[in-house]
Amino acid sequence: MMENFVFPGLTTRVVFGSGTMARAEEEVRRLGHDKVLVLSTPHQKADAEKLATSLGSLSAGIFAGAVMHTPVNVTEEAVEAFRASGASAVVSLGGGSTTGLGKAIALRTGADQVVIPTTYAGSEMTDILGETAGGEKTTRRSPDIRPETVIYDVDLTLSLPVGLTVTSAMNAIAHAMEAFYAPDRNPVIVLMCRDALAAFRDGIPKLIEDPHDRTARAEALYAAWCCSTALGYVQMALHHKLAHVFGGSLDTPHAETHAILLPYTTAFNEAAVPELLAPIADAFGGGSAGGGIWDFARSVGSPLSLKAIGIEEADLDRATAIAVRNAYANPRPIDPGSIRELLQAAWEGRRPG
């Protein structure tokens, strides 16, 4: 039976294709700006310089200092550079770290944002900003955080290393997984998420064979857009909470952390809502959603245990304590004992279910 739903109809403009970075100037002007600051990580500074050159007189310079988990001290430095540059908007070229910095600047200055994503992390379509200070990550949502325009350019993802291609796709799949049981889900988002699972399942093995396969890259970037849209439309729960606990408090790499936790958080909630997670079991096989994702992760060489990324067994108690500190919506009730068990399985890398 069709459930009742609300479809909020959000307003981010999306340009998708190959060679679309060339449309950045037109998109900035469309928003009414004549000076923009280009943002990137140090690693992608050369691409940022190329973009700034193509923007000509629109470019007010580059800030190439974005780092993972949006530390507040970096944001303060970037806000100073933004104000000094005379820009009224930012163009964020990169993965979630660069998008996060652009959002943090926008929140503090009212700047408009054009985002050009180069990973599958999916920050671009959301009104969510996670920031770190004093060893803890806090997350907030606000309409002022949501980017105005997103330009997906398949060509920019050709250089994404295979390892990050895989873990970033798993990161995106995690948005779809939690969207399937989100209390505010709607049928359009569920459709997009189903399509994204199929596109990643088919596209990622092709990209392991040939990272420059443009058709598979387009499929994967389309899937990333679907998952990012899901993240921007509906509430997330236990999985994202745990990923933030590890990223914010133990400084683990974002995409790998999502990739490792995903089979375990899926299996945990599958015990409560198997019918809502059936699209995952349908997409990946394996007899269960949690088991199916674990099998897929193993087949594409995704990291399988928290141990493998340097987490000590003793850290699991601290992570559990932080994860259960505040209440949040989750289809299965959360208690310290069951979360500690979930984390133990994820630390060891045991196949769930």
**Judged by CB under 6 A, which of 95, 147, 263, 349 binds ligand NAD?**
95
Residue 56's CB is within 10 A of a number of other CB atoms, namely: 8
Nearer to ligand NAD, 132 or 288 (CB): 132
Q: Which of 36, 156, 166, 227 binds ligand NAD (CB under 6 A)?
A: 156
- Using CB under 6 A, which residues numbered 21 to 50 contact ligand NAD? 41, 43-44
96 binds ligand NAD (CB under 6 A): yes
The tokens describing 239, both together, are: 């999985």
**Least gap, CB of 245 to ligand NAD (angstroms):** 12
- Phi and psi dihedrals of 7, rounded to 5? -110, 105
Query: At a CB cut-off of 8 Å and minimum separation 6, what does 196 contact?
Result: 172, 173, 176, 222, 223, 224, 226, 227, 230
Least distance to ligand NAD from the beta carbon of 185, Å? Answer: 17
- Between CA 251 and CA 150 the distance in angstroms is 28
Q: Sketch the per residue contact string, 105 through 144, with ligand NAD: x for CB under 6 A, - otherwise.
A: -------------xx-xxx--x-xxx--------------
Residue 123: CB minimum distance to ligand NAD, A: 3
- Tokens 């630390």 map to which residue? 347
Asked whether position 208 contacts ligand NAD by CB under 6 A, the answer is: no
Q: How far is the CB of 34 from ligand NAD (least distance, A)?
A: 28
Contact by Cβ (8 Å): 235, 182: yes
Does residue 92 bind ligand NAD (CB under 6 A)?
A: no
When asked if residue 151 is in the footprint of ligand NAD (CB under 6 A), the reply is no
**In 134-288, at which residue ranges do the beta strands (DSSP E only) sit?**
136-141, 149-153
Which sign does the torsion angle of CA 8, 9, 15, 17 carry? positive
Angle at 12 between CA 11 and CA 13, to 5 degrees: 110
Instruction: Determine the size of the site formed for ligand NAD (CB under 6 A).
Output: 31
Footprint of ligand NAD (CB under 6 A): 41, 43-44, 68-70, 94-98, 100, 118-119, 121-123, 126, 128-130, 156-157, 159-160, 164, 168, 231, 247, 254-255
